[in-house]
Structure 1
């Protein structure tokens, strides 16, 4: 038992290191890419990334979860290999269908996606890269299933470093265009494919069995709607901005969204640690009181971090990016709030996980995706990128509120939702004040007005009392009341 927990802890640390490493590399390369590309050119790159994300969703189609189930459902190595090959060929078949669609309708798709058919070459390059990445993902998935964590981390970081180096080289010496950047990615994927060929060749042997494939897809298909909902919430705003604004606006919004996700460098580690911690605490008498403190403490830390991000964003953008990307600084604080809420719902949904009511989360986010689409359709035509920011923020606030409410119903935690709501509202108002001061080019000292509003919110809510209160078990509370 101890060895299993030890392996879990070690693997979690390695994957956390991998996640931080890949995000850090992407963050450091972003100013370099944008130094070569105009707003419109980076907008095209960001849009093709969202396009590729959509295609990746279609290629995987829930088979990752299906494979993980059936892989561990048998100890027969040949049967495991059969499952892997069937998933591999299903994904390659989907890639082939998508490639055929791009060949037949590439100019039309480019016109609809970019409103400029000349970007059709980006579609061809992205499909070729998707083919190679599909094989790479399958190889690292199997390595992960075999608990070869170090190999997964090494190959992932090697691939990310190659993408960074070769993309930079292509921009500098080949072509400072979106095509140049994507060719750098394609070459790096090809090199990794060749380096990993000794691992992947056995998965590409033709062993397709339709009964096995049917079994896999029957498991995978019900998972697709939830995955689709998360994809819609994460990516659809970009397409609305392109439709009602321009590639230049997409480029600025894309930079802001990339920078906003830097907060995950911190939250990803907490996220990975929270689930096993909360599960291990579920049977302890003081667990609910501890969870209450965690809920409030993380909300306060997140709020403080968001104000720091809002204060530093203009300096960050002005220092590392060309002046034409200046407006990205104003979106970053609110998009960071969206990223934080995407993490925070996993914390306040603990009751749903402990009581096995996780299906409610899927239903909420399916409805949230529909809400997100409606909000984008209404707000983006009116306020462009600000409309997309508002749509994302409203969607996540509503989703987190419903999830927290249901979690409290099935597993009550002694935390004040009124105080949590007051802190959240106070934080958003403080962000609005800070961003308004920066956007209106007022004196820097006025930023303190936002911090003062946040401090006043904390004083009014007196959450410090909740954090200082000794942890009591339910039995302690009952004894005190009697």
Structure 2
């Protein structure tokens, strides 16, 4: 398959997964104006702690077996063997989730004392989360299986169904029934419960009895996944643990502002998550093609140009987004949102940088560097938060995240050398960061003048980026033109 055809397929899948991300992120964007008009920044602090704690549990329960399942799935063309691979993950994941859910339900009081205000409702929040853990197993597995099968549209449909159900129940429990903070967690539980039968419908031909759990495959898959656990835990520490450090150093309302910053920055995940979801199945499926390395190298430029531009726009106009979505009490989250937007960009970059190690089934370096990054983050948090506040927490995240792609590009090159265009990519990233920095340095009191100034900076950056990458831009439009002719 030609370079154009491969890049077209990567972009096509990214767009489809991006649509899924649009609706997933739409939950955050849609609910933010509702939440910020019902809940105080202190309430948002509680939401932030519970949300990020739940994400940590989800990461631990998956245990990186999704990555192992993907790698083993593409090692064979036999559907029967692939079914054994998938069921090995399903039954491990389900039993693990049930056990942790029961433990969390029983020990809810302990966790409430450690992290939340003393209230019977806080214990209820934790118990509702514990009930949700085994339910999300089925949607998580189903979405991954549909990705493995390259059925992007069905994967998007399932994600969209989850999103719409969550929005519906949030409006019902939070807005109409006025159930307070607990309404959020009843909404999550109800949405997860209803999406289970839909998930099972999509993967009914894959799910078998526990006897399909393979004792032969499991040790190898676990050996592949285990070194990734420091990476996944490190991912959480780097990207989401900030609320816990802020909770220790600053008033709880600052936790709420930081969480709002995360919500605005997560819009940049529309592009980064779409690319990440499309990348692994795409990369593994073309691995044996003669021009695979050329495609991978060109993919980095596509990522930096398109995804980087999207992230830059979110970062530049973060304050305007807060004005539209929230009340004045939350405007202080603008700079945090801008900084964390670039963290989303770096996360996607890490996906590309780890390709060589993944191809070689060498997962230890990725796990190790994520662990190192997480340790550095802890140090950065202690150093920066007392001095710079919530912006210090955001900078700590970006500084620690940056070392992951830098190291993994170097390490992966030893396993599977790819001629990535590093120098050009570095210049582009510096240009984007500089544009966002200037938008804050030249900030004016007049909202409309400020908007015009920012727009001018963005246009200047776009022109300079286009001039620096005339060949790539030309090839991109040629690809678009060919795509239209084929259609």
Q: CA deviation at 1:253?
A: 0.9
Q: Does 1:111 align with 2:118?
A: no
Q: Tell me the TM-score normalised to structure 2 length.
A: 0.76
Q: Tell me the TM-score normalised to structure 1 length.
A: 0.77
Partner of 2:215: 211
Question: 1: distance between equivalents of 2:472 and 2:77?
Answer: 49
Sort the Cα spacing of 1:281 and 1:299 in 2 relative to 1 into closer, same or farther, 3 A: farther
Q: CA deviation at 1:188?
A: 1.4
Please show how residues 83-482 of structure 1 align to structure 2 within 5 Å: 83-116=85-118, 118=120, 119-146=122-149, 148-196=151-199, 203=207, 205-207=209-211, 211-212=215-216, 213-214=218-219, 216-268=221-273, 295=301, 308-346=313-351, 362-403=367-408, 411=418, 416=423, 420=426, 424-425=429-430, 427-428=432-433, 430-435=435-440, 438=443, 441=445, 445=449, 466-468=468-470
Question: 1: distance between equivalents of 2:398 and 2:118?
Answer: 30
Question: 2: distance between equivalents of 1:189 and 1:285?
Answer: 39
For 2:133, what is the secondary structure of its paired residue?
A: helix
Q: CA deviation at 1:239?
A: 1.5
Question: Which structure has the larger Rg over C-alpha atoms?
Answer: 1
Question: 2: distance between equivalents of 1:283 and 1:168?
Answer: 52
For 2:211, what is the secondary structure of its paired residue?
A: coil
- Aligned pair count reads 463
Question: 2: distance between equivalents of 1:131 and 1:453?
Answer: 48
Q: CA deviation at 1:310?
A: 4.6
Larger relative contact order, structure 1 or 2 (CA cutoff 8 Å, min sep 6): 2
Sort the Cα spacing of 1:285 and 1:326 in 2 relative to 1 into closer, same or farther, 3 A: closer
Sort the Cα spacing of 1:389 and 1:74 in 2 relative to 1 into closer, same or farther, 3 A: closer
The equivalent position to 1:49 in structure 2, one of 27, 35, 51, is: 51
User: What residue ranges of structure 1 are gaps of 5+ in the alignment?
Assistant: 472-482
| Contact 1:170/1:180 (8 A) holds in 2 | yes
Sort the Cα spacing of 1:245 and 1:139 in 2 relative to 1 into closer, same or farther, 3 A: same
Sort the Cα spacing of 1:430 and 1:141 in 2 relative to 1 into closer, same or farther, 3 A: closer
Question: 2: distance between equivalents of 1:310 and 1:58?
Answer: 30
Per-residue Cα deviation, 1:47-101 (whole angstroms, up to 9, x for no partner): 2121111111121112223333455666776665555444333223322332333
Sort the Cα spacing of 1:416 and 1:92 in 2 relative to 1 into closer, same or farther, 3 A: closer
Sort the Cα spacing of 1:219 and 1:432 in 2 relative to 1 into closer, same or farther, 3 A: closer
Question: 2: distance between equivalents of 1:225 and 1:215?
Answer: 18
Q: CA deviation at 1:376?
A: 1.6
CA RMSD of aligned residues (A): 4.6
Partner of 2:479: none
Question: 2: distance between equivalents of 1:215 and 1:415?
Answer: 34
**Deviation larger for 52-61 or 315-324:** 315-324
Question: 1: distance between equivalents of 2:189 and 2:93?
Answer: 19
Partner of 1:477: none
User: What residue ranges of structure 2 are gaps of 5+ in the alignment?
Assistant: 474-487
Sort the Cα spacing of 1:70 and 1:122 in 2 relative to 1 into closer, same or farther, 3 A: same
Sort the Cα spacing of 1:262 and 1:103 in 2 relative to 1 into closer, same or farther, 3 A: closer
Per-residue Cα deviation, 1:269-326 (whole angstroms, up to 9, x for no partner): 56677785997999679959x958974x865767765664454322221222122111
Q: CA deviation at 1:344?
A: 3.8
Question: 2: distance between equivalents of 1:378 and 1:340?
Answer: 24
Question: 2: distance between equivalents of 1:75 and 1:287?
Answer: 25
**Deviation larger for 193-202 or 168-177:** 193-202
